[in-house]
Structure formats: structure tokens, C-alpha cells
A and B are shown apart, each in its own frame.
Chain A
Amino acid sequence: MYQFLFNLSGSEIIATIFTAAVILVFILLFVLFAVWFERKVSAHMQDRLGPMRVGWHGVLQTIADFVKMLQKEDIIATEADRKLYTIAPVLVFTGSFAAYAAIPFSSKLLGSEVEVGIFYLLAVSSFVVAGILMAGWSSNNKYSLLGAMRSAAQIVSYEIPTALVVLSIVMLTGTLSLEKISQLQTAYFWNWNIFGGPEFSLAKFLLIPFMFVGFLIIYISTLAEVNRTPFDIPEAESELVAGYFTEYCGMKWAMFMLSEYANMFAVSAIVTILFFGGYQSPFGYLGNSIGAEWLVPFEQAFWFIAKGIFFVFVQMWLRWTLPRLRVDQLMTVCWKYLIPYAFLNLIIVGFISLL
């Protein structure tokens, strides 16, 4: 897409802006959908109906809420640090938006073909911590600060199991580029990394259980990284009002929500790319079989978004199933369980891939 726009306009700036705009529009649409979807999923899991009155089954509810939010007064507490307070939500959203730059939506729609894509993703997603800490500190509110501190502790610790699992995939595929990892898992679903990768050999079958463990670990730890239940202690409603964004209102608050939902998809996208074939279709492409080559990238985008939304759904599903962990339990899960398992998994995957 970038290359196409670059050829079309001959200007890097225009190509960059347009590519970024497409992704931004996708994020906004996704958030509109996800907020509604979350409310529906939560409602139906509790035998309720959820929003029903704005549009068909309340599909336009988020838009109505957004319009309400636009009209709100922008209140900044007098004791707050005004500059940091204003920058923080922007920074948090920048962090989650920047993560999208390296995510390949299809073989044609990829923001940037960074060779160290997964490394960049891990680095940039921890950028969010800075924003969250800033928000908590500048609010000058004990609940905000507590939430921000918890969040920082949580995100930093859960990055380790994530990184270890990512490392095992990198060892297996031999590349850091998300685009290449996706391409390797092409054709059919048994070529996905969760089923041991594309090479048909003994190693493939030996890898399946360890890949599955790896998937569980990265799924749990990324869930914790986006601060969602059962790992939502930074914004624990029943303990900390709303955590680090207690003092925020109106559009600034909306920015935090926007980045939370954008992060949910980004994290699901990472899981999809690493283990579930990225944008690859599980059963081959319709475009190839009917001879319409141009259809393939769209199909790929469809599969990618479908997989991403499925994992977002699982996140919501977990949210409405499990209660919140205590702070010490949270750390126990990470340091005593996830990290040893991830480490062991890394070593075993390393040995198997040597076979």
C-alpha cells in the first residue's frame, strides 16, 4: 500500500500520511465496534440484552456516547500538573497507534516493512507505561498514582514472558520481521506456528505441545499488558475508582479508552501473527482459485481482522468470566509460573528446532 501510494504520488510524505490515515480509520472503526461488542458480550454472558435502543440492537450506541463525550466540559483539577496531564492521553494513544505501524494487515497493507518488526512492537508497546505513569502522577490523586504504579509494575513484569515466547518463535522462524513470519505460515492452517510451522518433519509434531504452551503464555501475558480483567488492577473499579484515569473526563478520557481498545487489537494481532498465520487464510484463497489476483489482499485483510477480532472476543470472554487478581497473585502468576514455563519452553523449542 505504501509502495503503491509512493509510486502514485511520488512523495514519501503523502504516502506515509495516507497509509497512517487508513490505519487510524481502521482503529477508530474497530474501537466503535469493540466498545459496542464488549457491552453486548458482557450483557449476554450475564443474561441481559445490553444496549438495544440506538440503532439495530444498539449498534450506534458508541457513536451516541462519543457525541455525548464531545460535548463534555474539559475539567482539569487545579492541583494537577497541567502540561503532563494534557500530554499523557496523547502519549498513551501514540504508543498504541505506533504499534500498528509494524502490523501487516495483508500482504499489501502494511504500514512499514521493518525487519525488526516484533522487536519494535514490544519496544513501542511499553511506551504506553510512560504515558500511564504520567497520567497517574500529574492527576495529583492518590488513586491515580496507585493505579499508575501498579500498571507500571504489571506491564514491565509481564513483558518478560511475552519476550521469551516471542524469542522461541524467532528461533523457530529465524526472522524478526512480522511480514516474513506471516509469509512463512502460508497456504493451509496446518502450516501455522501453533501446529509446528510449515516444515513437514518430526520436529513439527514434537513442537505442537510446546507451541501450544507458548501460545497460552503469550496470550495470558499480553492480556496483562493491556490491563484487562483478570489483570485489571491498575484500573480496578472497586478499589481505585478508575485507576490512572480517575481525574480525566470527556475527550481525554476517551483517548485512554481508545488506546485501551486499540491495544487489545494490537495484542491480538501479535498473537495471530506469531501463532495463527497472521493474514494467511486457513483454506487457501478464493481470489487464486477464480483467477482474480486483486482479491487476495482483501481476503488476507479479512482473515487478519477476523482472527484479531476473535482473540479480542476471547479477551472479553475472559474478562466476564474471571474475577480480578490480587496484586501479589498477579506477581505470582508472572514470576513464579509464566516466566519459568516460558523459559523452559524456550529451551525445549530451541533444542527441537536444532533437530
Chain B
Amino acid sequence: MKQYLKNTWYGIWTVLIGMKITFKHLFTPAVTIQYPDVKVPLPERVRNRLYVNIDDCIGCDQCSRACPVNCIEIETVKSLPGENLGTTSNGKKKALWVTKFNIDIAKCCYCQLCVPPCPTECIYMTDVYEFSEFERDNLVYKFANLTEEEAVEKKSNYEKFQAEKEASRQVGAAASAKPETPVKTQQENKNE
């Protein structure tokens, strides 16, 4: 009988203790973070989407070679003598037209091995981590700032230049002044 009354008392008392605890929690601030509106600050050296500052890129292809999954594709065309491609922000002279700089972010494994080799620090990881797409092709990011026509033009210019060089070599020393002309047009094109 004593045990019975004790059980009853414990039954009621422990429920009240539990209710006290839950009632307290009713007024403790929630730990939820309202994700799309509020984001957790990321760690400083977090590795997320790659970005290439193409203005600084000298087309050295070192990032592409460092990549363990071959997700960076770079094509370059040599500039013609006398062409001014400008300098990078840390003062390096650019010598190559970067006609193609594609990063297939779907392949990327976020290892960051491409970042340290870059001589101009133009490829780096950003803190953007929401970039899902419906089409897989949209995940191939094109960073080259030349349009396709321009790229073709640069290529043909260079080929022309090479061909002329070959020709001039075959013709002889007399044709040494010839390459001047295409270079001039090239500069005019660039000014446009």
C-alpha cells in the first residue's frame, strides 16, 4: 500500500518535473538558422567554388597541370611581336592570348591544388557554395574573356604570322620588313 501511494506520488511528481523542463525550453531561443536568409559564417580558408580572375591570367597552364582530375582546360595562342596584352596586377607581362579557360566544376574535387602554383594568384577558391544547376553542361564555367570570333581571329592571325614567317624565311633576308604589316592591323583591331 505504501509502495502504491509512493508510485502515485512519483508518477505525478516526475511528470511535473518534466513539464517544468519543457516549459523552460519553450522560452529558450531556438538554435535554428533560417538558412537561405541567414547563413552560418564560413571558416576563413574554406574551399568552395573556383574563380579565375582572367585579367590577371597569363595562360601558363600550371593550374591545369596541377589538377588531379583534369577539370581545367586551357588553350592559349601566342601573341604577335609588338602586341601589347597589358600586365597583370603584380606586374607580370602577359604574352599569351587565353582563348579558352574552362573549369568543369562538376569534376572539381575542391583540393585547391591549382591555387598555389599560379604565379599571379588569379585562380582562387571563393565562399560560394550554392551553384547547383539543372543541366550538367551549365557547370562548365568559361572564364576566357575573348569571344569565340576573337579567339578564332587570334588563332588565324597567329597562323598567318607563322605562315608569313615561314614564307619570309624561305624567301630570304630581303623579306625581313614584311611582318610589320599584320602587326599593325592587329593593333588596330585591338583598339577597336
Interface residues of A (CB under 8 A from B): 41, 43-49, 52, 216, 317-318, 320-322, 333, 337, 341
Question: Inside 8 A of B19's CB, which chain A residues have their CB?
Answer: 317-318, 321
Q: List 11 A-B contacts (CB under 8 A).
A: A44-B25, A46-B25, A47-B30, A48-B32, A49-B34, A317-B22, A317-B23, A322-B18, A337-B7, A337-B8, A337-B11
| Residues of B1-46 whose CB lies within 8 A of A | 7-8, 11-12, 15, 18-19, 21-23, 25-32, 34
Question: Inside 8 A of B8's CB, which chain A residues have their CB?
Answer: 337, 341
Is there an interface contact between A321 and B11, defined as CB atoms closer than 8 Å? no
Question: Inside 8 A of B23's CB, which chain A residues have their CB?
Answer: 317
Query: Which residue of the partner chain, among A45, A46, A52, A322, contacts B34 with CB atoms under 8 Å?
Result: A52
Instruction: Contacts A216-B12, A341-B8 given; indicate if A45 touches B18 (C-beta within 8 A).
Output: no
Is there an interface contact between A47 and B25, defined as CB atoms closer than 8 Å? yes
| Chain A nearest Cβ from B161, distance in angstroms | 61
Interface residues of B (CB under 8 A from A): 7-8, 11-12, 15, 18-19, 21-23, 25-32, 34
Is there an interface contact between B11 and A48, defined as CB atoms closer than 8 Å? no
**Residue of A with least CB distance to B7:** A337
Question: Inside 8 A of B11's CB, which chain A residues have their CB?
Answer: 333, 337
Question: Inside 8 A of B34's CB, which chain A residues have their CB?
Answer: 49, 52
Enumerate the 7 nearest inter-chain pairs by beta-carbon distance, A residue then B residue, closest first: A49-B32, A321-B18, A321-B22, A49-B30, A45-B22, A44-B26, A45-B25
Is there an interface contact between B12 and A47, defined as CB atoms closer than 8 Å? no
**Residue of B with least CB distance to A340:** B4
Question: Inside 8 A of B32's CB, which chain A residues have their CB?
Answer: 47-49
Question: Inside 8 A of B15's CB, which chain A residues have their CB?
Answer: 318, 321-322
| Chain B nearest Cβ from A277, distance in angstroms | 23
Give Cα A341 to B22, complex, Å: 28
Question: Inside 8 A of A341's CB, which chain B residues have their CB?
Answer: 8
Instruction: Contacts A337-B8, A337-B11 given; indicate if A320 touches B30 (C-beta within 8 A).
Output: no
Instruction: Contacts A337-B8, A337-B11, A341-B8 given; indicate if A320 touches B31 (C-beta within 8 A).
Output: no
Give Cα A286 to B27, complex, Å: 32
Is there an interface contact between B31 and A47, defined as CB atoms closer than 8 Å? yes
Question: Inside 8 A of B25's CB, which chain A residues have their CB?
Answer: 44-47
Is there an interface contact between A47 and B21, defined as CB atoms closer than 8 Å? no
Give Cα A47 to B25, complex, Å: 6
Give Cα A45 to B29, complex, Å: 10
| Chain B nearest Cβ from A239, distance in angstroms | 22
Give Cα A41 to B22, complex, Å: 10
Give Cα A318 to B31, complex, Å: 22
Is there an interface contact between B31 and A48, defined as CB atoms closer than 8 Å? yes
Question: Inside 8 A of B22's CB, which chain A residues have their CB?
Answer: 45, 317, 320-321
Question: Inside 8 A of A41's CB, which chain B residues have their CB?
Answer: 26
Question: Inside 8 A of A333's CB, which chain B residues have their CB?
Answer: 11
| Chain B nearest Cβ from A205, distance in angstroms | 22
Could you list 20 further interchain pairs (A-B, Cβ under 8 angstroms) beyond the known A49-B34, A333-B11?
A: A44-B26, A44-B27, A45-B26, A46-B25, A47-B25, A47-B30, A47-B31, A48-B30, A48-B31, A49-B32, A52-B34, A216-B12, A317-B22, A318-B15, A320-B22, A321-B15, A321-B18, A321-B22, A322-B18, A341-B8
